[in-house]
Amino acid sequence: MGAAVAGYLTFAVVLLGGWELTARLALVDATLLPPLSEVCVILWRFLHDPRFIADLGLTGGEVAVAFLIAAPLAISTGFLLGERLHLAETFNPVVHFILAVPQSIFLPVFILAFGIGFLEKVLFGITHAYFVILVNSFAAVRSIPRPLVAAARVFGATRAQIYTRIYLPAMLPLILTGLRLGMIFCIIGVLLAEMYASRRGIGRLIFTWGEGYQIPQLLAGIVLVSVLTIAVNEAMRLGELHVGRFYARASAA
Protein backbone atom coordinates (compact mmCIF):
# COMPACT_ATOMS: atom_id res chain seq x y z
CA MET A 1 0.00 0.00 0.00
CA GLY A 2 2.77 2.44 1.01
CA ALA A 3 4.76 1.50 -2.09
CA ALA A 4 1.73 2.17 -4.29
CA VAL A 5 1.20 5.61 -2.76
CA ALA A 6 4.88 6.40 -3.32
CA GLY A 7 4.44 5.28 -6.93
CA TYR A 8 1.45 7.58 -7.47
CA LEU A 9 3.26 10.54 -5.90
CA THR A 10 6.43 10.03 -7.94
CA PHE A 11 4.36 9.80 -11.11
CA ALA A 12 2.40 12.97 -10.27
CA VAL A 13 5.51 14.95 -9.33
CA VAL A 14 7.44 13.91 -12.46
CA LEU A 15 4.51 14.55 -14.80
CA LEU A 16 3.28 17.82 -13.34
CA GLY A 17 6.75 19.12 -12.43
CA GLY A 18 8.02 18.22 -15.90
CA TRP A 19 5.08 20.05 -17.44
CA GLU A 20 5.63 23.22 -15.38
CA LEU A 21 9.40 23.18 -16.07
CA THR A 22 9.00 22.58 -19.81
CA ALA A 23 6.61 25.51 -20.04
CA ARG A 24 8.64 27.84 -17.76
CA LEU A 25 11.88 27.16 -19.62
CA ALA A 26 9.96 27.81 -22.86
CA LEU A 27 11.13 24.46 -24.30
CA VAL A 28 7.78 24.30 -26.07
CA ASP A 29 5.82 27.22 -27.54
CA ALA A 30 3.74 28.76 -24.73
CA THR A 31 0.61 28.78 -26.90
CA LEU A 32 0.89 25.00 -27.28
CA LEU A 33 1.87 24.25 -23.70
CA PRO A 34 0.94 26.90 -21.15
CA PRO A 35 2.40 26.35 -17.65
CA LEU A 36 0.49 24.15 -15.25
CA SER A 37 0.02 27.09 -12.87
CA GLU A 38 -1.84 29.02 -15.54
CA VAL A 39 -4.05 26.04 -16.35
CA CYS A 40 -4.83 25.65 -12.64
CA VAL A 41 -5.96 29.27 -12.43
CA ILE A 42 -8.35 28.71 -15.33
CA LEU A 43 -9.59 25.50 -13.77
CA TRP A 44 -10.22 27.34 -10.50
CA ARG A 45 -12.27 29.94 -12.38
CA PHE A 46 -14.26 27.20 -14.16
CA LEU A 47 -15.15 25.58 -10.87
CA HIS A 48 -16.80 28.85 -9.82
CA ASP A 49 -18.66 29.27 -13.10
CA PRO A 50 -22.26 28.01 -12.81
CA ARG A 51 -22.49 27.29 -16.54
CA PHE A 52 -19.38 25.11 -16.44
CA ILE A 53 -20.66 23.31 -13.37
CA ALA A 54 -23.97 22.71 -15.17
CA ASP A 55 -22.12 21.11 -18.11
CA LEU A 56 -20.06 18.98 -15.76
CA GLY A 57 -23.21 18.02 -13.85
CA LEU A 58 -24.99 17.04 -17.05
CA THR A 59 -22.16 14.72 -18.09
CA GLY A 60 -22.00 13.28 -14.58
CA GLY A 61 -25.76 12.76 -14.66
CA GLU A 62 -25.60 10.96 -18.01
CA VAL A 63 -22.84 8.68 -16.74
CA ALA A 64 -24.70 7.98 -13.48
CA VAL A 65 -28.03 7.18 -15.17
CA ALA A 66 -26.35 4.98 -17.80
CA PHE A 67 -24.35 3.13 -15.15
CA LEU A 68 -27.30 2.64 -12.81
CA ILE A 69 -29.32 1.12 -15.64
CA ALA A 70 -26.50 -0.95 -17.15
CA ALA A 71 -25.16 -2.43 -13.89
CA PRO A 72 -28.24 -4.32 -12.59
CA LEU A 73 -29.19 -5.41 -16.12
CA ALA A 74 -25.70 -6.72 -16.87
CA ILE A 75 -25.24 -8.40 -13.49
CA SER A 76 -28.55 -10.23 -13.78
CA THR A 77 -27.92 -11.36 -17.38
CA GLY A 78 -24.44 -12.55 -16.43
CA PHE A 79 -25.90 -14.39 -13.44
CA LEU A 80 -28.60 -16.02 -15.59
CA LEU A 81 -26.06 -17.19 -18.19
CA GLY A 82 -23.76 -18.46 -15.43
CA GLU A 83 -26.54 -20.45 -13.80
CA ARG A 84 -28.10 -21.77 -17.03
CA LEU A 85 -25.20 -23.10 -19.04
CA HIS A 86 -27.32 -24.11 -22.04
CA LEU A 87 -28.24 -20.42 -22.39
CA ALA A 88 -24.57 -19.50 -22.07
CA GLU A 89 -23.67 -21.89 -24.89
CA THR A 90 -26.06 -20.01 -27.14
CA PHE A 91 -25.42 -16.45 -26.06
CA ASN A 92 -21.75 -16.31 -25.02
CA PRO A 93 -20.52 -16.30 -28.66
CA VAL A 94 -22.88 -13.39 -29.35
CA VAL A 95 -21.51 -11.49 -26.37
CA HIS A 96 -17.96 -12.05 -27.58
CA PHE A 97 -18.81 -10.95 -31.13
CA ILE A 98 -20.23 -7.74 -29.76
CA LEU A 99 -17.27 -7.22 -27.43
CA ALA A 100 -14.91 -7.56 -30.39
CA VAL A 101 -16.56 -4.79 -32.43
CA PRO A 102 -15.44 -1.22 -31.57
CA GLN A 103 -18.74 0.24 -30.45
CA SER A 104 -17.77 3.76 -31.47
CA ILE A 105 -18.54 2.92 -35.12
CA PHE A 106 -22.21 2.65 -34.13
CA LEU A 107 -22.32 6.23 -32.85
CA PRO A 108 -23.75 7.69 -36.09
CA VAL A 109 -26.49 5.05 -35.96
CA PHE A 110 -27.33 6.03 -32.38
CA ILE A 111 -27.56 9.67 -33.42
CA LEU A 112 -29.88 8.86 -36.32
CA ALA A 113 -32.07 6.78 -34.08
CA PHE A 114 -32.06 8.76 -30.82
CA GLY A 115 -30.90 12.31 -31.64
CA ILE A 116 -28.07 14.07 -29.83
CA GLY A 117 -29.62 14.66 -26.42
CA PHE A 118 -29.58 13.06 -22.97
CA LEU A 119 -31.25 9.83 -24.15
CA GLU A 120 -28.65 9.10 -26.81
CA LYS A 121 -25.75 9.74 -24.39
CA VAL A 122 -27.28 7.46 -21.77
CA LEU A 123 -27.96 4.68 -24.27
CA PHE A 124 -24.44 4.89 -25.66
CA GLY A 125 -23.07 4.77 -22.10
CA ILE A 126 -25.23 1.72 -21.32
CA THR A 127 -24.06 -0.27 -24.34
CA HIS A 128 -20.45 0.49 -23.41
CA ALA A 129 -20.80 -0.60 -19.79
CA TYR A 130 -23.20 -3.52 -20.24
CA PHE A 131 -21.00 -6.15 -21.86
CA VAL A 132 -17.95 -5.73 -19.64
CA ILE A 133 -20.08 -6.01 -16.51
CA LEU A 134 -21.92 -9.00 -18.00
CA VAL A 135 -18.73 -10.93 -18.77
CA ASN A 136 -17.43 -10.37 -15.24
CA SER A 137 -20.74 -11.29 -13.64
CA PHE A 138 -20.79 -14.53 -15.68
CA ALA A 139 -17.24 -15.31 -14.56
CA ALA A 140 -18.23 -14.53 -10.98
CA VAL A 141 -21.00 -17.16 -10.99
CA ARG A 142 -18.71 -19.73 -12.58
CA SER A 143 -16.02 -19.01 -10.00
CA ILE A 144 -18.17 -20.09 -7.04
CA PRO A 145 -16.57 -23.26 -5.65
CA ARG A 146 -19.18 -26.03 -6.03
CA PRO A 147 -18.00 -27.86 -2.88
CA LEU A 148 -18.93 -24.77 -0.83
CA VAL A 149 -22.47 -25.02 -2.18
CA ALA A 150 -22.62 -28.77 -1.44
CA ALA A 151 -21.37 -28.15 2.11
CA ALA A 152 -23.97 -25.45 2.69
CA ARG A 153 -26.71 -27.82 1.48
CA VAL A 154 -25.57 -30.57 3.83
CA PHE A 155 -25.70 -28.07 6.70
CA GLY A 156 -29.31 -27.32 5.82
CA ALA A 157 -29.05 -24.11 3.80
CA THR A 158 -32.21 -23.21 1.90
CA ARG A 159 -31.98 -22.07 -1.71
CA ALA A 160 -32.35 -18.44 -0.62
CA GLN A 161 -29.60 -18.88 1.98
CA ILE A 162 -27.29 -20.42 -0.63
CA TYR A 163 -27.75 -17.32 -2.78
CA THR A 164 -27.28 -14.80 0.02
CA ARG A 165 -24.65 -16.60 2.12
CA ILE A 166 -22.54 -18.32 -0.54
CA TYR A 167 -23.20 -16.86 -3.99
CA LEU A 168 -23.23 -13.20 -3.07
CA PRO A 169 -20.03 -13.02 -1.01
CA ALA A 170 -18.21 -15.43 -3.35
CA MET A 171 -19.18 -13.38 -6.42
CA LEU A 172 -18.54 -9.96 -4.95
CA PRO A 173 -14.85 -9.48 -5.86
CA LEU A 174 -15.39 -10.23 -9.57
CA ILE A 175 -18.66 -8.28 -9.67
CA LEU A 176 -16.87 -5.23 -8.29
CA THR A 177 -14.09 -5.59 -10.87
CA GLY A 178 -16.78 -5.70 -13.56
CA LEU A 179 -18.48 -2.62 -12.15
CA ARG A 180 -15.24 -0.67 -12.05
CA LEU A 181 -14.36 -1.56 -15.65
CA GLY A 182 -17.98 -0.90 -16.61
CA MET A 183 -17.74 2.57 -15.07
CA ILE A 184 -14.62 3.35 -17.10
CA PHE A 185 -16.32 2.16 -20.30
CA CYS A 186 -19.47 4.08 -19.42
CA ILE A 187 -17.51 7.33 -19.05
CA ILE A 188 -15.72 6.66 -22.34
CA GLY A 189 -19.05 6.08 -24.09
CA VAL A 190 -20.70 9.23 -22.77
CA LEU A 191 -17.69 11.49 -23.43
CA LEU A 192 -17.28 10.06 -26.91
CA ALA A 193 -20.93 10.73 -27.71
CA GLU A 194 -20.62 14.26 -26.34
CA MET A 195 -17.49 15.05 -28.31
CA TYR A 196 -18.91 13.65 -31.52
CA ALA A 197 -22.22 15.51 -31.49
CA SER A 198 -23.77 17.41 -28.64
CA ARG A 199 -24.83 20.85 -27.52
CA ARG A 200 -23.69 20.59 -23.93
CA GLY A 201 -21.59 18.55 -21.52
CA ILE A 202 -17.92 18.53 -20.53
CA GLY A 203 -17.01 16.37 -23.54
CA ARG A 204 -18.51 18.95 -25.85
CA LEU A 205 -16.61 21.79 -24.11
CA ILE A 206 -13.28 19.96 -24.39
CA PHE A 207 -13.90 19.26 -28.07
CA THR A 208 -14.83 22.90 -28.78
CA TRP A 209 -11.75 24.23 -26.96
CA GLY A 210 -9.58 21.91 -29.00
CA GLU A 211 -11.11 23.08 -32.26
CA GLY A 212 -10.73 26.73 -31.22
CA TYR A 213 -7.05 26.40 -30.15
CA GLN A 214 -8.05 27.43 -26.62
CA ILE A 215 -5.19 25.36 -25.22
CA PRO A 216 -5.28 26.49 -21.54
CA GLN A 217 -9.02 25.77 -21.34
CA LEU A 218 -8.56 22.46 -23.18
CA LEU A 219 -5.83 21.36 -20.75
CA ALA A 220 -7.88 22.51 -17.75
CA GLY A 221 -10.76 20.31 -18.97
CA ILE A 222 -8.44 17.35 -19.54
CA VAL A 223 -6.87 17.72 -16.09
CA LEU A 224 -10.26 17.93 -14.40
CA VAL A 225 -11.74 14.90 -16.19
CA SER A 226 -8.56 12.89 -15.52
CA VAL A 227 -8.58 13.72 -11.82
CA LEU A 228 -12.28 12.90 -11.47
CA THR A 229 -12.07 9.55 -13.31
CA ILE A 230 -8.93 8.53 -11.40
CA ALA A 231 -10.74 9.34 -8.15
CA VAL A 232 -13.80 7.26 -9.11
CA ASN A 233 -11.62 4.36 -10.26
CA GLU A 234 -9.45 4.37 -7.13
CA ALA A 235 -12.47 4.54 -4.84
CA MET A 236 -13.98 1.48 -6.56
CA ARG A 237 -10.62 -0.31 -6.50
CA LEU A 238 -10.34 0.18 -2.74
CA GLY A 239 -13.73 -1.50 -2.39
CA GLU A 240 -12.48 -4.38 -4.53
CA LEU A 241 -9.31 -4.81 -2.48
CA HIS A 242 -11.39 -4.79 0.69
CA VAL A 243 -13.74 -7.60 -0.33
CA GLY A 244 -10.97 -9.49 -2.15
CA ARG A 245 -8.61 -9.45 0.83
CA PHE A 246 -9.41 -13.08 1.72
CA TYR A 247 -8.39 -14.28 -1.71
CA ALA A 248 -5.18 -12.31 -2.22
CA ARG A 249 -3.05 -14.55 -0.04
CA ALA A 250 -4.74 -17.74 -1.17
CA SER A 251 -3.96 -17.05 -4.83
CA ALA A 252 -0.41 -15.93 -4.07
CA ALA A 253 0.27 -19.14 -2.11
Partner 1 sequence: MPVIEVSKLGKDFSAGRARVRALADVSFSVEEGQFVTLVGPSGCGKSTLLQILAGLIAATSGEARIEGERICAPMPDKIGMVFQDPTLLPWKTALANVEFPLDLRGIDRTARRKRCAALLELVGLSEFADHYPHELSGGMRQRVAIARGLAQDPRLILMDEPFAALDEQTRTRMGHDLLDIWAKTGKTVFFITHSLTEAIYLSDVVLVMSPRPGQVIDTIAIDFPRPREVDIIGSEAFGRIRNRIWHLIAEAPA
Residues that bind partner 1 (CB under 8 A): 145, 147-148, 150-158, 161, 165-166, 169, 243, 246-247, 249-250, 253
Least distance between partner 1 and beta carbon 34 (Å): 50
Looking at the Cβ atoms of 76 and 164, the one nearer to partner 1 is: 164
Would you say 207 and 195 are in contact if contact means Cβ atoms under 8 Å apart? yes
- Taking alpha carbons only, the member of 12, 28, 41, 1 closest to residue 217 is 41
Would you say 203 and 195 are in contact if contact means Cβ atoms under 8 Å apart? yes
Report in angstroms the alpha-carbon separations of 63 from 34, 35, 117, 126, 239: 30, 31, 13, 9, 20
CA distance 237 to 226: 16
CA distance 211 to 51: 20
Looking at the Cβ atoms of 109 and 253, the one nearer to partner 1 is: 253
Least distance between partner 1 and beta carbon 7 (Å): 26
Looking at the Cβ atoms of 119 and 172, the one nearer to partner 1 is: 172
**Looking at residue 164, what DSSP letter applies?**
I
Least distance between partner 1 and beta carbon 189 (Å): 33
Looking at the Cβ atoms of 48 and 146, the one nearer to partner 1 is: 146
Looking at the Cβ atoms of 51 and 245, the one nearer to partner 1 is: 245
| Interacting residues of 205 by C-beta distance below 8 A, sequence separation 6+ | 52, 55, 217, 221
Cα 13 off chain centre by = 25
Least distance between partner 1 and beta carbon 162 (Å): 10
Least distance between partner 1 and beta carbon 75 (Å): 19
